[in-house]
A = this chain, B = another copy of it.
Amino acid sequence: MIPMVALLESYKERVGKINEYIMHSLEVVENKDLKAAMAHYPQAGGKRLRPLLATISCEAVGGKWTAALPFGAALELVHNFTLVHDDVMDNDETRRGIKTVHAQYGIPKAILAGDALFARAFELIPDSDTHDDRLVQLVEIIAKAVRLLAEGQQMDMEFEGRKTVMDKEYMKMIELKTAVLYSAAAQGGAVIGESTDREEDALQEYGRLVGLGFQIWDDVLDLTSDEKTFGKPVLNDIRNGKKTLIMISALEDIHGKDREDLFRALGNKKATPEQLLAARNVLDRAGAIDHAIEIANGLITEAKEKLTVLKDTKYRKCLESFADYTVTRKS
């Protein structure tokens, strides 16, 4: 298997081309302010996992990666559009060390920049190098994904006001809010690469499982990493009282002083670092973090099994490594 660091390293050049394509795609915007607000997140960098997944999936069914470049860029613009709007809804002032779009440009411009990123994404899709019937399918895939993303964000917001959330509900929410776009990336790449239906279905499911694993691993990192390594503040989910899978399973098992320690910090925006750490340790001791890691690993194993319908090529191996990467990454 390809080691993780080597995997991302080997795609450095491709990520450069994806970034070029994305930034170039924003040049068509006339209004300078609108363009700057649209470019705020894309130009701040990122791993471009969704475009990578789309392009590797395309290769894994026999296509050229460049055929899926416009579609991959469209996915990244959609991802960035949801970040811009989610940050407004969640009232977040910073994202990965920079000001959020609305903190920098105001809420009206942030709403507008998100809308324009969304529109621009759909303008890029037809530039993907494939037949018209498959272009239409790509539009259907992304449009449905965005509609489901909205359902996921709505669930996430509703959970904030609720006392208890079931683990099944949490899984449904992250499926809609995160997995759907990974699923669209892998499926869309397959469509562009002129896959068989069986390959397309397998990659769609692979993407979905990878997306679920990705999100659960993100919840784990929030509790086990440090800000410098993770690239964003840690213990945030405790501070914000997020009902992650870890929290949901812990709340069932924790009693007495441990429960008091947890609730002292949970959803308490003014919790001290010591209180946050104490809560974190409670979750750890209860085995809730290990439990989540196990589930994430299980999803990734399942995801890799889906790949067995594909021809045994180096691209399939890359998809295996990609899956492993999502639940071993440090940031």
Contacts and interface: CB of A to CB of B under 8 A. Distances in A.
Interface residues of A, number: 47
A90 to B, nearest CB: 8
Contacts of A150: 34, 112-113, 115-116, 119
Given A133-B132, A139-B139, A151 B89 contact: no
B120 A143 contact: yes
Interface in A105-147: 107-109, 111-116, 118-123, 125-126, 131-133, 135-136, 139-140, 142-144, 146-147
A153 interface: yes
Contacts of A139: 122, 125-126, 135-136, 139
Nearest to A90: B108
Given A85-B115, A122-B122, A108 B157 contact: yes
Interface stretch (A2-10, A25-33, A251-259, A310-318): A25-33
A116 B82 CA distance: 11
A308 interface: no
Given A111-B88, A112-B89, A132-B132, A143 B157 contact: no
Contacts of A30: 151
B147 A29 contact: yes
A155 interface: yes
A196 interface: no
B31 A151 contact: yes
A143 B115 contact: no
Contacts of A104: none
A154 B115 contact: no
A142 B126 CA distance: 12
Contacts of A116: 146-147, 150-151
Contacts of A112: 85, 89, 150, 153-154
Contacts of A107: 88-89, 107
B140 A123 contact: yes
Interface string A256-280: 0000000000000000000000000
16 contacts: A28-B147, A31-B154, A88-B108, A88-B111, A89-B107, A115-B115, A115-B146, A119-B147, A120-B143, A120-B147, A122-B146, A123-B140, A125-B139, A132-B135, A135-B139, A136-B136
